[in-house]
Each structure stands twice: as C-alpha cells, then as structure tokens.
Amino acid sequence: MATEIYERVKRYLTLLKKNFKAIEEKSLFLVSEKVKGKEVIIQIRAGEPWIGLVVPIISRAEIPDNILCKVHEKLLQININYAEVSFGIDKEGNVLATEEILSDALTLDVFLEEYNALPVAVEVFEEEVRPIIKEAQA
Amino acid sequence: MMSFNPKKVFSRILSYLKILGKEIESIDEDKFAILVKEKIDGGTHRILVQLYTSGWISTRALLVRNETLNRLGGNSCLVLRYLLQTSYRAAEFKFAMDEMGNIYITEDIHISALTFDAFDEEYHAIPAAIKEFKERIKPEIEHLIATDFEIV
C-alpha cells in the first residue's frame, strides 16, 4: 500500500507537470529531465525518515584511471563550493549526485528546491569536471 | 529562487542556536556566519553555520587538515574515494574539500525547510557524524591505508 509520503511526492510531480514513471511497490519514481539538451533520469525514493533523490552523473568506466584521483578531488571541492550540490560515488565508483529531504519537512517548496539542485549538479559537473575528463581522453 | 530577507533568516538561525544552548564563539553579521563550539568525544570542534544568499544554510566542521592528507602521498586518493563513497551512503551529511585540501563534514538545509525542528535535526547531524567518523570511519580508513590517520 502506498504511503502518505509516496502519494505526496506523486502529487508534487504531477502538479509540477514532470514526465515520470511511478513504481509503487518500490516507492520509487523515475523522472525524465533535459539538462543542456541531454536526458537525465532523476530517481526519487519516497522513504521515511528520508526521501532520497539521486541522479547518475557518469560511470566509472568513462573516467580514465590516470585522472581518477583528480576527479574525486574536484568532486569534493564542488561539494564545498556549491551548498546545494552533493556528489558521491557508489561501490562501483560511478559518480552520482544526491539530495535528501527529511520526510517530516516535506512541503512543495522544499521538494522543489532539493529537486532543482540535481539538474544544477549535472550542469556543474559538465562545466567543471567534464573538461578534465575530455582533456585526459584527447 | 525564492527571495528572502537574509538578516531575518540569520537572526532566526541565531535564535535557534541560543534555544539549543549552544556556545557561540563568534558571529560575523556581514558574512551571515556563526561559529559554534562543540565538545564531542572529549575533543573540541568548531562548527560553522553560514547562510548564503542562494537561500542555503551550510553547517560545516573541519575534519582533516591538508597536511594529514599530504603526508599520505598516493594513499590520499584511497581516502578521497572512501569519503565520496561514504557521502553517497549517508543521508545526513557529505564530505567536502576546500581549495587548500582541508576536508570538512558538511550538511546543507534550504531556508524553505527552516523550522526549529528541522534545524535541530540537521545541525546535530554534524556532531553525530563527527562522532561516527571517529568511531567507525577513521578505523576503516586506517585499515585501508595501513597507517594512522589524524583528524582534528
């Protein structure tokens, strides 16, 4: 059965006219967004006490080994320079941007601010990290 | 981005810290920054709470000085990778690095979510994360790099 938080997130996505797929049994939403002409999928897990928002940024395989450390350093620097951006890496080394909302603090305004931070993270990555990777590949 | 009066929000943050009985070391009204002294596990840590004009409030504490990382040489890369993995797993905080290479533990809250209860929870995520870092993450890093790892 869908939780109240799941229903609220679904309502917000509908009100915001987002293009999304709801997977109720996993309390999961997959939202399609266009950032700088590229499609990205934002995953929203409507859990409690945390609602987790994640966007995959780049796979480990796309980062050359010789600049991996430099890329990680840059991601940590971005984490301090942009309050709304939070980069992390999963077990496999893929880079993701995440946001979390305390379910007790969930309102449309809060949801929108946290949600909008993810396309910002994609943009910041493209502007500040992608050139390092491209240069190494050249 | 929503418009807001930073002076009003800053004064609200200050009042929340006072209600929580925090020891305020300094207040910078121009930078909307407050430095709070916290005793954690027998050590004294300084937590910076700062309001940005973007509408985000950042709560941050210095965790590892750059010289500690520099001393590790190539092993510092293992530490950075571990910190990013932990940032991904943790809902309440993230790790970050300044341009000097110092490592911080940080947590951000948007003013649209700023209530006393939310601030209380998010602020205390930092001392809790420092404690967790000392007790769990530091030994894991030391195991990873096979040497002592000094934190603030």
At residue A26's C-alpha, the angle toward residues A21 and A31, to 5°, is 25
Confidence tier at A2 by pLDDT (50, 70, 90): confident
**Helix (H), strand (E) at residue B58:** strand B56-64
CA–CA gap between residue B125 and residue B117 (Å, rounded): 12
Other CB atoms within 10 Å distance of the CB of residue A80: 20
Residue A29 CA neighbour count, 13 Å, CB half? 25
DSSP state of A120: H
Diameter of chain B by CA atoms? 50
Question: CB A79 to CB B94 under 8 A?
Answer: yes
Q: Which residues contact B90 (CB under 8 A, 6 or more apart)?
A: B129
Question: CB A113 to CB B115 under 8 A?
Answer: no
Confidence tier at B147 by pLDDT (50, 70, 90): confident
pLDDT, chain A, mean? 95
Q: How far is B32 from chain A (nearest CA, A)?
A: 14
Q: Using alpha carbons, list the distances in angstroms from residue B19 to B11, B23, B105, B116, B117.
A: 12, 11, 24, 9, 11
Domain boundaries A4-137, corresponding CATH code? 3.30.1460.10
Sorted by where each begins, the domain ranges of chain A are 4-137
Question: CB B95 to CB A109 under 8 A?
Answer: no
Q: Are B84 and A89 in contact (CB under 8 A)?
A: yes
- Point out the residue among B2, B57, B81 whose CB comes nearest to the CB of A72: B81
The tens digit of pLDDT for each residue in A56-90 reads 999 999 999 999 999 999 999 999 999 889 999 99
Q: Are B110 and B123 in contact (CB under 8 A)?
A: no
* ipTM, 2 dp: 0.93
As given in the structure block, the two tokens for residue B147 are 């040497």
